[in-house]
Structure 1
Amino acid sequence: MNTESTKAVIVTGSTSGIGFAIASRLYAEGWRVTLNGYRTEKEGADLCAKMPGADYVDADVSTSDGAAHLVKTAVASFGQLDAVVNNAGVAWRIDHSDLDAVDDEFWDKIMAVNLKGPWNVAKAARPHLARSSGQIINNASLAGLTTTGSSIPYAVSKAGLVHLTHLLAKALGPEIRVNAVAPGYIDTPLTHEWQSVRDYVEDNAPARRLGDPEDVAEAVHGVMKMGYVSGAIIPVAGGLQVL
């Protein structure tokens, strides 16, 4: 039997783009998947129809109550929790030089979803993951490692998530492994119109191509199988990190 077929995972922000690709890959590998995002009950049911046996929970992980509800529902559905993929995130393009375009609401939204969300889910999931010797995978960004990103607040939120990954790996080991992937430009509905970025990646990345959601899904699944890796940040950027 595929050992992954006995395991259960939550993928936050998994109704489209990178999150849906990660959920789909893990489902194909035999994981029992709980999807999460902002959808109507019918839309959630439609998503689950593509993955028979999967579950969908509409929960705002930027709040501790939302994260607790998500974890509680997932555990009730599958009886256990073996992994969490913290993928939920938001981004809007604001030129780094345009400081005046960034207001308090923008900062608060970015930090709440991109940084506080993974913290909330990690806290709620901890006792369940400890019982299963489970793991957490955070979806950070190359913007958290370099001076790039769709905006300064976005880059700072992802830098915070990188450090949170390191801190949680130290705090939660040995029972729970914690790692992160750090995508560069990934072609999704959110980023598809960023033509100048697309051109730069195709012209300069050592891979000479755009990234796609399946590239990130492959990296997540690979890291999940690396039993002696914790506290690692894995770039998924076609080599952009070396420029």
Structure 2
Amino acid sequence: MDVNGTVAVVTGGGTGIGAAVAESLARKGAAAVVVNYSRSSEAAQATVARLESLGCKAEAMAADVSDDAAVRRMAERVRAAYGRVDALVCNAGTTAWVPFPDLDGLTDEVWRDIMGVNLMGAFYCARAFAPDLKAARGAIVNVASIAGLLATGSSMAYGVSKAALLQLTKDLAVALGPDVRVNAVAPGLVATRWHIDRVGEQVFADMAAKEEAKAPLRRTARPEHIAQMVTALLEADMVTGEILVGDGGRHLGY
């Protein structure tokens, strides 16, 4: 896929990795990028302003991806406004910080919230936009996590949701082929404002130093690094059903 001239939808596109993906697409000449958000309206609008400054048409659209009806309404709005969708990046995600041994901390509500956004949200979006993507012979990239491949991460529920998302990626690649390619990225530790604010500057710096010491590339990913991976998969016309790990090689020594 040549990103130039395309219409893309990025869920959770207002901040962090999603915003970096949206900007990467704009810099590569995307005609329009829809920045989906659920709560961060101000951040989404700021992202839209950056995209427009790059000459890309952009719009912020509110929709809770865990709500199928809301996703279908968003798809209709995009269809009416732009007439096509070439790329879908399912980046919206959530977690709960629950230590692995704390099984009682994994309440039904925690499971529902995490699986609802991280897994069902990606499925709802893929289903809602499938007709448009098929017509455009487009592509989907799901943003998963190394926690979907290894027993690590913010909580057991988060890791399970990302593992399920990776399987969904493979299944959708079969279900939507030959017209639509579906791939996933699995980042390791990423220096996002959300993560740094959650644990604090010093704690994050300590975490990053420990991870870097064990990674062949000896550095921590930034959102723009993951955006490079997403864009590469959108452009890779002979790749589908694949998982691209982006953790500086840290997984090689787990």
Name the TM-score class by shorter chain. over 0.9
Judge conservation of contact 1:86–1:138 (CA < 8 Å) in 2. Answer: yes
Give the deviation of 1:208 after TM superposition: 1.0
Quick check: 1:215 aligned with 2:219? no
| Equivalent-residue separation in structure 1 for 2:40 and 2:191 (angstroms) | 25
User: Paired residue for 2:246?
Assistant: 236
| Equivalent-residue separation in structure 2 for 1:235 and 1:156 (angstroms) | 17
Out of 94-103 and 117-126, give the one that drifted further.
94-103
User: Paired residue for 2:13?
Assistant: 14
User: Paired residue for 1:115?
Assistant: 119
| Equivalent-residue separation in structure 2 for 1:98 and 1:186 (angstroms) | 25
> Residue type matched to 2:138 in 1?
G
User: Paired residue for 1:38?
Assistant: 38
Give the deviation of 1:99 after TM superposition: 1.1
Give the deviation of 1:46 after TM superposition: 3.8
Quick check: 1:167 aligned with 2:177? no
Judge conservation of contact 1:55–1:77 (CA < 8 Å) in 2. Answer: no
Judge conservation of contact 2:64–2:70 (CA < 8 Å) in 1. Answer: yes
User: Paired residue for 1:26?
Assistant: 25
Which of 74, 77, 83 matches 1:73?
77
Out of 62-71 and 107-116, give the one that drifted further.
62-71
Runs of 5+ unmatched residues, structure 2: none
| Equivalent-residue separation in structure 2 for 1:154 and 1:44 (angstroms) | 24
Give the deviation of 1:45 after TM superposition: 3.9
Q: C-alpha offsets along residues 167-193 of structure 1, whole Å, 9 cap, x if unaligned?
A: 000111001100000000001122223
Quick check: 1:58 aligned with 2:62? yes
Identity of aligned residues (%): 38
| Equivalent-residue separation in structure 1 for 2:100 and 2:207 (angstroms) | 14
Quick check: 1:95 aligned with 2:99? yes
Give the deviation of 1:75 after TM superposition: 2.0
| Equivalent-residue separation in structure 2 for 1:234 and 1:40 (angstroms) | 28
SS at match of 1:88: coil
User: Paired residue for 1:205?
Assistant: 215
User: Paired residue for 2:237?
Assistant: 227
SS at match of 2:194: coil
Quick check: 1:152 aligned with 2:152? no
Q: C-alpha offsets along residues 188-219 of structure 1, whole Å, 9 cap, x if unaligned?
A: 12222353532321221111111110010000
Judge conservation of contact 1:141–1:181 (CA < 8 Å) in 2. Answer: yes
User: Paired residue for 2:48?
Assistant: 48
Q: How many residues align?
A: 242
Quickly say closer, same or farther: Cα 1:241–1:57, change in 2 above 3 A: same
Normalization by structure 2: what TM-score? Answer: 0.90
Give the deviation of 1:162 after TM superposition: 0.3
> Residue type matched to 1:83 in 2?
A
SS at match of 1:187: coil
Quick check: 1:131 aligned with 2:135? yes
Judge conservation of contact 2:12–2:93 (CA < 8 Å) in 1. Answer: yes
